[in-house]
Structure 1
Amino acid sequence: MESRIETGACFCGAIAAEMQGDPFWICFDHDDDCRRAIGSPLTIWIGYRLDQFRLTRGQPREFSKTRGIVRSFCEKCGTSIAYRDEGLNDELYVTIGFFDHPERFRPQAHAYWRLRLPCLEFSDDLPRIDTYSRRRDPAFGNPVDR
């Protein structure tokens, strides 16, 4: 049996990657920090282990505003690619907009539900978590406390 391979690229095509195997977590994110970084009312983050992600073209730029969080993006077109969180060891979260086939991913929960925009309504029965949806190393604090 072949392992699952997903591909993705930025809007201009300068950055491309492949993700091997199944993601371990898929989650709607209503966090205001991510909202600003992505430029969208919310995103869906697809969680992979670092060794499941491989760049196949280009090199993204990185930026950090929040302690312990490093975001990557294409410096040519601005597409958000992923983020790493030092409080979540060996985890990489790729934004759904980077994938070539985003329809293949079904979210498992809503994170930062309390920060959602009131104009967005959801009829799903997914868990609604008011903060982080993953167990994070408390030594790094909570990013919302920036």
Structure 2
Amino acid sequence: MGNDDDCRRAIGSPFTIWVGVRPGQFHITRGQPKTFSKADGVVRTFCATCGTSIGYCDRALPDEICVTIGFFDHPEIFHPEAHAYWGLRLPWVEFADTLPHVDGYSRVRDAAIGNPRERQKATRA
């Protein structure tokens, strides 16, 4: 699960569950998503009709697309593997499970490109 402050703001929720898929495993079946970016090399997508967050691509993770679990027709088939950004969770967020708590990103990015937080654009709204 992701709890990065930028993700929290983009999703509009205290946390989300990201599902990492290979680019060839995922495609939009109808409509054309809208995009935005606040960090160099990170493109977030959302539904142009209803505003639902779809996911993001990070050029430092060229073989992965991160999709919000709520975007899938059958989210119940996916199971979390870890809680990322555990240290940034809101103080009332707790889970009664034994998943690993990771204080940063749960996926290692290309070191030459760096993490999205290091590539953040200008100021926040």
Q: TM-score, normalised by structure 2?
A: 0.90
Classify the secondary structure of the residue corresponding to 1:54.
Answer: coil
Instruction: Return the structure number with greater strand share.
Output: 1
Aligned partner letter, 1:32: D
Conservation of the 8 A alpha-carbon contact between 1:67 and 1:140: no
Q: Structure 1 residue 29: deviation in Å?
A: 0.5
**C-alpha distance in 1 between matches for 2:112 and 2:37:** 18
Query: Partner of 1:56: helix, strand, or coil?
Result: coil
1:3-59: CA deviations, max 9, x gaps? xxxxxxxxxxxxxxxxxxxxxxxxx11111000000111000001000111221111
* 2:16 counterpart of 1:43: yes
SS in 2 for 1:33: helix
Q: Where do 5+ consecutive residues of structure 1 fail to align?
A: 1-27
| Equivalence for 1:76 | 49
Which residue of structure 2 aligns with residue 17 of structure 1?
none
Quote the offset at 1:140 in angstroms.
2.1
Give CA-to-partner distance per residue, 1:81-127, whole Å, 9 cap, x none. Answer: 01001101121011011011112211000111111111111121111
> Does the 8 A contact of 2:32 with 2:48 survive in 1?
no
Alignment of 1:22-41 (within 5 A): 28-41=1-14
TM-score where L is the length of structure 1: 0.78
Residue segments in structure 2 that go unaligned for 5+ positions in a row: 121-125
Matched, 1:52 2:18: no
Q: State how far apart, in whole Å, the 1-side matches of 2:94 and 2:55 are.
A: 25
Runs of 4 or more consecutive aligned structure 1 residues displaced over 6 Å after TM superposition: none
- Give the AA of the match of 2:78: F
Size of the aligned set, in residue pairs, is 119
- Give a deviation string over 1:51-80, Cα, whole Å, max 9, x none: 111221111011111122100001221100
CA RMSD across the alignment: 1.1
User: Matched residues in 1 for 2:94 and 2:19: separation?
Assistant: 21
* Corresponding residue SS for 2:87: helix
Q: Pick the aligned partner of 1:121 from 73, 94, 103.
A: 94
The equivalent residue for 2:108 is 135
